[in-house]
């Protein structure tokens, strides 16, 4: 049986509240070591990186670059493949804003019907600039990707670029990412994977996936907000033009001409979020700890427990792929508005997410105004789910 109290004890949030937090797809709570690392940086190590010659500044630079090495180890890539960004959204925008030279009029860009707005709008904008055409891999009425049709579309349309989520933020579906990447690689397409939801739950080997670009956000991995990364194959970075200019990413500047640094350094202009990156390193330490070794089993057990409890309530409609899932459940109750249900849950101290979850096209395809989303993490417990189900049944009694 699930026993995650040791993991839960690392999170001060749960020591100071009776709230049931089931909105981990939006952001995860932070363990004490992350909070301490950020406080320690600003208390004892606050200096800019890569610039000072003092031992004090050099030590801060070392801490900052150690974080890059830790992320590389976690993702099974090299440190030179990592570009620090503000998050997955900026990482996608970096690629979409910098790859125009390789996208021509009438080229095809493919995404799926499950995508977050952050993996839709940048490609729409690129298409408007270049005259490329955006095509959508289809999902069925329940929100599950049609793999056979998707593979046929890739083979027929021969996209220049494919951008696909590893797991759906709305439904929790784990996409058949390797099949899609293999098909795209066979026609030499440029590939980007949105791993914002997958990184905590799936811990993918990014080298094995062999996509050109993979993006992530620290705050969905127990780290701070405002930090993320673009992970790229070395030769894939060379496909991108300079994204932002200024300090740090330059090699030499005169009033007549400027040359830029090479590799990942070319995309890191200005003073970075140093404290956030160091806090993210602490989050990676936590994710690699012995307590987290059984995280995936914990989440799978809790997911099944939650799913079974919801299925026993008449009138509940659950969407998505319930077998290949990161631990996120989207549902509605009869014709009741999702916001009404979520508001009643909130009044009972249960934090869930309601609405379109930044996936308006997917929600429209499902034919609903929105859904109620429960997204689980390692620190959630059976007691959390029991309290959620009791509160849900009470909400239903009020609404019926």
**Which residues are annotated as catalytic?**
358
Characterize the bridge pairing of strands 213-217 and 190-194. Answer: parallel
b/e per residue 8-42 (b: at least 16 CB within 10 A)? bebbebbeeeeebbbbbbebbbbbebbbebbebbe
Nearest to 22 by CA among 386, 359, 394: 386
Characterize the bridge pairing of strands 316-319 and 328-333. Answer: antiparallel
d(CA 71, CA 231): 10
Distances (CA, A) of 191 to 91, 157, 348: 13, 15, 44
Which two structure tokens, joined as six digits, stand for 274?
A: 């140093």
d(CA 351, CA 176): 30
How far, rounded to the nearest angstrom, does the alpha carbon of residue 223 sit from its chain's CA centroid?
A: 12
């Amino acid at each position: 049986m699930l026993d995650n109290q040791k993991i839960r004890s690392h999170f001060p949030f749960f020591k100071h509240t009776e709230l049931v937090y089931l909105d981990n797809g939006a952001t995860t709570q932070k363990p004490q070591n992350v909070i301490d690392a950020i406080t320690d940086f600003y208390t004892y190590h606050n200096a800019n990186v890569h610039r000072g010659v003092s031992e004090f500044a050099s030590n801060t630079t070392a801490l900052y670059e150690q974080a890059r090495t830790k992320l590389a180890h976690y993702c099974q890539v090299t440190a030179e493949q990592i570009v620090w960004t503000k998050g997955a959204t900026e990482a996608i925008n970096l690629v979409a804003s910098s790859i125009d030279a390789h996208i021509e009029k009438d080229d095809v860009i493919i995404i799926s019907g499950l995508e977050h707005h952050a993996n839709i709008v940048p490609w729409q904008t690129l298409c408007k600039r270049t005259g490329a055409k955006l095509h959508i891999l289809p999902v069925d009425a329940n929100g599950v990707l049609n793999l056979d049709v998707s593979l046929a579309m890739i083979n027929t349309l021969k996209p220049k670029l494919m951008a696909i989520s590893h797991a759906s933020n709305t439904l929790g579906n784990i996409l058949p990412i390797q099949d899609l990447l293999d098909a795209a690689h066979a026609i030499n397409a440029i590939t980007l994977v949105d791993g914002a939801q997958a990184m905590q739950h799936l811990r993918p080997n990014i080298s094995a996936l062999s996509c050109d670009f993979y993006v992530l956000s620290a705050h969905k991995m127990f780290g701070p907000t405002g930090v993320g990364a673009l992970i790229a194959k070395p030769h894939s970075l060379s496909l991108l033009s300079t994204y932002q200019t200024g300090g740090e990413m330059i090699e030499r500047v005169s009033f007549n001409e400027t040359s830029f640094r090479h590799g990942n350094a070319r995309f890191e202009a200005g003073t970075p979020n140093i404290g956030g990156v160091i806090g993210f390193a602490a989050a990676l330490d936590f994710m690699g700890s012995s307590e987290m070794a059984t995280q995936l089993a914990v989440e799978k057990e809790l997911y099944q427990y939650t799913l079974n409890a919801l299925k026993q309530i008449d009138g509940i409609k659950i969407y998505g792929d319930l077998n290949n899932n990161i631990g996120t459940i989207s549902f509605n109750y009869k014709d009741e508005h999702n916001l009404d249900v979520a508001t009643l849950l909130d009044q009972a101290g249960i934090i869930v997410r309601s609405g379109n979850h930044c996936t308006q096209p997917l929600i429209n395809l499902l034919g609903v105004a929105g859904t109620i989303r429960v997204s689980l993490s390692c620190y959630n417990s059976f007691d959390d789910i029991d309290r959620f189900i009791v509160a849900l049944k009470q909400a239903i009694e009020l609404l019926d």
